[in-house]
Structure 1
């Protein structure tokens, strides 16, 4: 299905089903399918997903976490966003510690993972070479996340952008979905917070910046587990969720 048809889709389930058939970016299609053929030695027995990755989480989420794009041997292999690599391991473990997920890890789509009040998505739905989608690929893929945010519009109150790419990609999407962008446009930084008023006079939206959970950031200490947990907890509270109780219960166990 072509991304240009995304605005015609009637609901989030229909969107998630449609996006997996997208072949709009030839370079990304070739790369995701090449990765599935060659595979890594550790995953020779895997039947790679090798298709675009839909967002994951409930349709009434109040907190949305936005990443960059799937990893060639991570989500491109497992079929679920942010799974199969160290980035996803850290993200889901932290969400579980905050009581926002029912388990600390996910191995493959359909493995029973549930998120509570949180949806995770990407502005680019296919694995790009060297984890670097082009501007054209980002813009071609934009209708998918734009339609997704439109469906989430009634309930979402907070968005966390993991990295500068996600921050820049999501700003025009939020504007299209009904929030007003501050002028000058807010700049990305870890811990940066921008408040976007609703164009219709409804509740505002808070946009949080967070360093990406990539090994490049976590292995160097630029982003620590404590930093991620603190930021996600603050974002969850701003979205009307209650992460503290779950954290206390996990530590008591």
Structure 2
């Protein structure tokens, strides 16, 4: 039986309730916008209970468990981003998988989607190993970070628009805290693409109107709308099919296709 994932930044054992009707609540996602560090953001995130439907589902899954994992203790909480805290490349997915990250407590870890993604990161030099099985398996990412616009496992992998918007401050603040070194953002799938462009628009990047449509291989370079804003003057957003089994098992997304996107991200980041 693998060890229970440790709670980021000392959040273990807390039971601070969130009030979804009160944006001033310290556990409400809006309050995450004031987090002073990634550790503080993670500490806030893992206690979030702002979306009743998602809270009920993630905890039900953690209690009932899949037969293959019945002897394991599930994480069953919101999942923080993972990777280099000063990454030049950020990968934005959709949400934790019910028996993947919701079980292991680490983004894209413990399911076949993660296997596909981290194997590609290893081939392209972003990861020290090709597998990601548990929060303490020794995996390290270099120059890249993985995150998502929704941090709790949703039923049928389909968060509602309201849940996506309520969770948005976590992605926004994480992008800010990773810092000025981010040069490239890779969006996995249409929902990640839409959420990322919405966040960047709100942060002062010049997102074209109408917004670019998602497609695999799409490349959009954004500039800051306000010249006084700190940080790099441009950010390139790359579109990539999601690493879901629906795409990888059917050949819609192949290892070579994902490698090409990550290699392009590296080229742009160091260009």
TM-score range, shorter chain: over 0.9
Mapped pair 1:155 → 2:181: yes
Which residue matches 1:228? Answer: 258
| Equivalent of 1:205 in 214, 219, 235 | 235
Which residue matches 2:31? Answer: 5
Residue 72 of structure 1 aligns to a residue in which SS?
coil
Residue 184 of structure 1 aligns to a residue in which SS?
coil
Q: Which has the higher helix share?
A: 1
Question: How many residues are matched?
Answer: 241
Offset of residue 183 of structure 1: 2.2
Q: Deviations over 1:65-105 (max 9, x none)?
A: 00000000000000000011110001001101111011111
TM-score (norm 1): 0.92
Offset of residue 179 of structure 1: 1.6
* Structure 1 portions without partners, runs of 5+: 242-253
Which residue matches 2:244? Answer: 214
Which residue matches 1:89? Answer: 115
| Equivalent of 2:94 in 53, 56, 68 | 68
Offset of residue 200 of structure 1: 4.1
Structure 1 contact 36–50 (Cα < 8 Å) conserved: yes
The range that moved more, 67-76 or 173-182, is 173-182
Which residue matches 1:239? Answer: 269
| Equivalent of 1:171 in 189, 197, 201 | 197
> After the TM superposition, which residues 128-147 of structure 1 pair with which residues of structure 2 at under 5 Å, given as runs?
128-147=154-173
Alpha-carbon separation, structure 1, partners of 2:132 and 2:250: 24
Residue 217 of structure 2 aligns to a residue in which SS?
coil
TM-score (norm 2): 0.86
Which residue matches 1:33? Answer: 59
